[in-house]
């Protein structure tokens, strides 16, 4: 279904203000656009990836409780490309960041393998190199974009790809802290950890339960997007799955690649919450 847009809507299209590094326009790749009505325009790639992602959205068949993990899909729309090159077909999706005024955003690519056997040898070699030189292989996931809109803390993609397990844990703690900087010596206060990661953990465990039984899809190079409002008592944590250009049929087999990475990410979140709980107990004990 191709959506016809009014001239007024086309005029108000703009580059997303809070887009994380993994999804920005660069090196000749078209970037996404948003409008003021809560829609996100993702350029449809001119290859098998574009048709694969469109096919995924149009044929998605999951339980209603799991459907909430996916952005709402509104068809496609032909609008001017972000680089001014002319009309281009875009996927018309829910703008997940639109409800937030001070968002903190994190993109986590899940799975120890970001390629499948249907890819070309060159593409597999490219993915293997990146997977092996990042946390993808040892941890089962990697951080591809993190942004704090209040402090303007936004570690580079290159930095994120070189993180050790300890480095990943530190970035996750900083993500839920009240103030951030690029100073690696600073000790994050994890001020938002209980409110944000508590809700995130609950949603991830729910998602994990589905991946333990679903055999319809294998999600390669797919990400978990985490968003929250940087305001105490009003964080509104959000967990969504994004990027489906490399989803293939599960052929009746559980997606152990994604499930394993998801379990690893869950353990990192759980460890932060458990450490926070121990600190609170310690303070309460000595505060008596």
Q: Which of 169, 106, 109 is nearest to 141 (CA)?
A: 109
Residue 207 has pLDDT above 50, yes or no: yes
Distance CA 276, CA 265 (A): 17
Residue 262 has pLDDT above 80, yes or no: yes
User: Which residue is it, tokens 């098998």?
Assistant: 48
Q: In what order do the strands lie in the sheet with 73-80?
A: 2-3, 73-80, 87-94, 39-43, 33-34
Q: Which of 28, 43, 154, 49 is nearest to 88 (CA)?
A: 43
- Say if 2-94 and 103-287 have the same CATH topology: no
Least confident of 23-32, 222-231, 236-245: 23-32
Q: What is the DSSP-derived secondary structure letter of residue 125?
A: H
Token readout for 141 is 């996931």
Which residues have C-beta within 8 Å of that of residue 283, sequence separation ≥ 6?
none
Report whether 241 contacts 69 (CB < 8 A): yes
Distance CA 104, CA 2 (A): 32
Using pLDDT thresholds of 50, 70 and 90, give the confidence band for residue 17.
Answer: confident
Mean pLDDT of 260-267: 98
pLDDT at residue 184, rounded to an integer: 54
Tens of pLDDT along 32-72? 999 999 999 999 987 889 999 999 999 999 999 999 999 99
Report whether 270 contacts 278 (CB < 8 A): no
Q: In what helix (H) or strand (E) does residue 269 lie, and over which residues does it extend?
A: helix 256-287
Q: Domain limits of the chain?
A: 2-94, 103-287
pLDDT at residue 28, rounded to an integer: 64
- Identify the three-state secondary structure at position 228: strand
Residue 74 has pLDDT above 80, yes or no: yes
Instruction: Region of 100 please: left (phi>0), alpha (psi -120 to 50) or beta.
Output: beta
Token readout for 238 is 């959000």
Residue 116 has pLDDT above 70, yes or no: yes
Share of the chain above pLDDT 90, in %: 74
Mean pLDDT of 219-237: 97
- pTM here is 0.90
The domain defined by 103-287 folds into D-amino Acid Aminotransferase; Chain A, domain 1 (3.30.470)
Residue 253 has pLDDT above 80, yes or no: yes
CB-CB neighbours of 178 under 10 Å: 14
The listed range with the strongest mean pLDDT (79-93, 175-189, 240-254) is 240-254
Distance CA 208, CA 239 (A): 13
Residue 234 has pLDDT above 90, yes or no: yes
Distance CA 207, CA 67 (A): 10
Distance linking the first and last C-alpha atoms of the chain:
64
Burial class (CB in 10 A: 0-12, 13-18, 19+), 250: middle
Mean pLDDT of 119-123: 95
Whether domain 2-94 has CATH 1.20.1250: no
Tens of pLDDT along 127-176? 999 999 999 999 999 999 999 988 889 999 999 999 999 999 999 999 99
Considering only CA atoms, give the Rg of the chain: 19
Using pLDDT thresholds of 50, 70 and 90, give the confidence band for residue 92.
Answer: very high
């Amino acid at each position: 279904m191709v959506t016809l847009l009014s001239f007024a809507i086309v005029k108000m299209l703009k580059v997303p203000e809070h887009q994380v590094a993994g999804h920005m326009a660069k090196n000749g790749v078209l970037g996404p656009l948003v409008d003021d009505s809560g829609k996100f325009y993702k350029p449809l790639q001119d290859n098998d990836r574009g048709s694969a992602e469109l096919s995924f959205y149009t044929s998605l068949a999951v339980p209603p409780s799991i459907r909430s993990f996916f952005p709402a899909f509104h068809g496609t729309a032909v609008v001017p490309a972000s680089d001014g090159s002319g009309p281009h077909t875009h996927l018309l999706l829910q703008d997940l960041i639109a409800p937030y005024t001070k968002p903190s955003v994190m993109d986590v690519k899940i799975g120890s393998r970001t390629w499948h056997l249907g890819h070309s040898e060159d593409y597999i070699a490219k993915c293997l190199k990146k997977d092996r030189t990042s946390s993808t292989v040892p941890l089962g996931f990697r951080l591809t974009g993190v942004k704090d809109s209040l402090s303007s803390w936004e570690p580079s993609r290159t930095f994120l790809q070189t993180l050790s397990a300890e480095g990943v844990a530190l970035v996750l703690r900083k993500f839920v802290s009240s103030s951030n900087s690029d100073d690696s010596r600073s000790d994050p206060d994890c001020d938002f950890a209980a409110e944000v990661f508590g809700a995130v953990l609950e949603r991830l465990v729910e998602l994990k339960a589905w991946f333990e039984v679903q055999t319809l899809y294998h999600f390669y190079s797919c990400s978990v997007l985490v968003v929250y409002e940087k305001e105490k008592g009003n964080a509104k944590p959000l967990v969504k799955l994004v990027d489906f250009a490399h989803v293939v049929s599960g052929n009746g087999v559980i997606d152990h690649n994604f499930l394993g990475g998801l379990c690893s990410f869950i353990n990192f979140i759980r460890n932060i919450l458990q450490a926070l709980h121990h600190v609170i107990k310690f303070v309460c004990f000595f505060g008596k």
